[in-house]
Each structure stands twice: as structure tokens, then as C-alpha cells.
């Protein structure tokens, strides 16, 4: 019989993983909102330019951004820097 309040190692890992995931999503929200707080007029100008871009340009920009994000995550996880 397991003691009251016992959490298995797997459940603890899942709990920590979810905690990390929610923290990361929160950080993304903070970083996404920061330009709107710091420079709202600049963001309006930038968004107007964004509307003028072709769909293909937006798609390429998105792919490059995703690859850059993946590369940063890979470096953080696999390198001995952190």
C-alpha cells in the first residue's frame, strides 16, 4: 500500500512537463504582447506592411521563423551551454 499523498515518478514527470509547457506558453504570450505595449504605433505601421505582403512571402517567413525556433530549442536541449 502506498502512503497518502504518494505521487509516482511518472506522474511527477508529467506534472513537471505540464508546468514547463504552461510556463513556455506564458512566456510566448509575454513576448508576443511586448511590442504592442512598447511601440503601439510602430506595430500598427508594421501590421499595415504585413497586410501588403503576398501569401508566399508570409509563408516563407513563417517557415524560417519555425526553423529558427526549432534550432534554438535543439541547442538549448542538446548542448552543454545550459
Mean pLDDT by 10 residues, the chain (82 residues): 66 82 93 96 95 96 95 86 66
> What was the pLDDT predicted at 14?
79
Q: What is the greatest pairwise CA distance in the chain? A: 65
Contact 54, 46 (CB under 8 A): no
What is the per-residue pLDDT for 15? 80
pLDDT of residue 73: 87
DSSP 7-74: --HHHHHHHHHHHHHHHHHHHHHHHHHHHHHH-HHHHHHHHHHHHHS-HHHHHHHHHHHHHHHHHHHH
pLDDT for res 12:
73
Helix (H) or strand (E) holding 78: helix 55-78
Instruction: Write down the pLDDT at residue 4.
Output: 63
Residue 26's pLDDT is: 95
Structural domain boundaries of the chain? Answer: 1-38, 40-82
Amino acid at each position: 500500500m502506498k502512503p497518502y499523498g504518494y505521487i509516482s515518478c511518472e506522474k511527477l514527470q508529467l506534472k513537471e512537463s505540464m508546468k514547463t509547457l504552461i510556463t513556455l506558453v506564458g512566456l510566448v504570450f509575454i513576448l508576443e504582447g511586448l511590442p504592442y505595449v512598447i511601440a503601439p504605433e510602430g506595430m500598427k505601421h508594421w501590421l499595415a506592411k504585413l497586410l501588403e505582403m503576398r501569401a508566399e512571402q508570409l509563408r516563407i517567413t513563417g517557415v524560417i521563423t519555425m526553423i529558427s525556433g526549432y534550432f534554438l530549442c535543439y541547442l538549448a536541449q542538446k548542448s552543454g551551454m545550459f
